[in-house]
Amino acid sequence: MFRVLLIGGHGKIALLLEPLLAGRGDHVTAVVRNPDHEAEVTATGATPLVADVQAFDTEQLTNLVSGNDAVVWAAGAGGGSEERTYAVDRDAAIRSIDAAVAAGVSRYVMVSYFGAGADHGVPRDNSFFAYAEAKAAADEHLRASGLDWTIVAPSTLTDDEPTGQIEVDADAPSKVSRGDVAAVIAAVLADDSTIGRTIRFNEGATQVVQAVAR
């Protein structure tokens, strides 16, 4: 049984990922901030755990992470203030990476986005700038962490029905369903050839498991 700590357990992608992992026998602990979300998470087959990762320091996050085989970061501030975006998408994410190192939990999967990086090209006056900066910093910290990392970088998210098929390493972003993003996360957790890779992808014509395999 593979033990997965899923941070951001009530997000749209997380709620689609949880039944995929639970259905194949993984034990999923889904971290949620709002106790009102526990029942919805439980219905997916995951075990909810109420914790505010924005408020947790590295020691608290180390305790949270300990005993798992993998961490999946699927949390996000969801827009709003720049201050909260940096606090969640950059600072809390970085602390969770440091916590995984401290706890000896080597496998870490980060949900990012297609254009993330220091050269993201988002103008300072764009409302997306803080998120782009935060993800660039968190992704770079993960790459330098020494963990067995994978960065999952989908293009524009949709609520379309998943197709089970994607295209990786496209030249430009288009779109992909959240359900297919969930399938990609599940696939990379089961495939060690994805360690040390940033997987950018759109909707496509290749089965997810084959598309992510090296």
CB 173, CB 202: distance < 8 Å: yes
Quick one: pLDDT at residue 44? 98
Question: pLDDT (tens digit, 9 = 90+) per residue, 104-116?
Answer: 999 999 999 999 9
pLDDT band for 168, please (50, 70, 90 cuts). Answer: very high
pLDDT at residue 55 is higher than 80: yes
Question: pLDDT (tens digit, 9 = 90+) per residue, 178-187?
Answer: 999 999 999 9
Quick one: pLDDT at residue 56? 98
Cα gap 188→184, rounded to integer Å: 6
Average pLDDT, the chain: 96
Cα gap 141→93, rounded to integer Å: 9
Number of domains in the chain: 1
| Phi–psi pair at 108, nearest 5 degrees | -140, 125
- Is pLDDT larger for residue 19 or for residue 118? 19
- Domain containing 22: what range? 3-212
Quick one: pLDDT at residue 109? 98
Cα gap 14→11, rounded to integer Å: 5
pLDDT at residue 79 is higher than 80: no
What are the structure tokens assigned to 105, written together?
Answer: 């939990």
- Return the number of other C-beta atoms located less than 10 Å from residue 50's C-beta: 14
Cα gap 150→37, rounded to integer Å: 27
Question: pLDDT (tens digit, 9 = 90+) per residue, 135-163?
Answer: 999 999 999 999 999 999 999 999 999 99
Quick one: pLDDT at residue 80? 73
Quick one: pLDDT at residue 78? 80
CB 208, CB 180: distance < 8 Å: yes
Burial class (CB in 10 A: 0-12, 13-18, 19+), 128: middle
- For residue 23, give the CATH number of its domain: 3.40.50.720
The pTM of this model reads: 0.97
Cα gap 46→68, rounded to integer Å: 14
In the numeric block, the tokens 């947790």 are attached to 56
pLDDT band for 169, please (50, 70, 90 cuts). Answer: confident
Cα gap 76→81, rounded to integer Å: 12
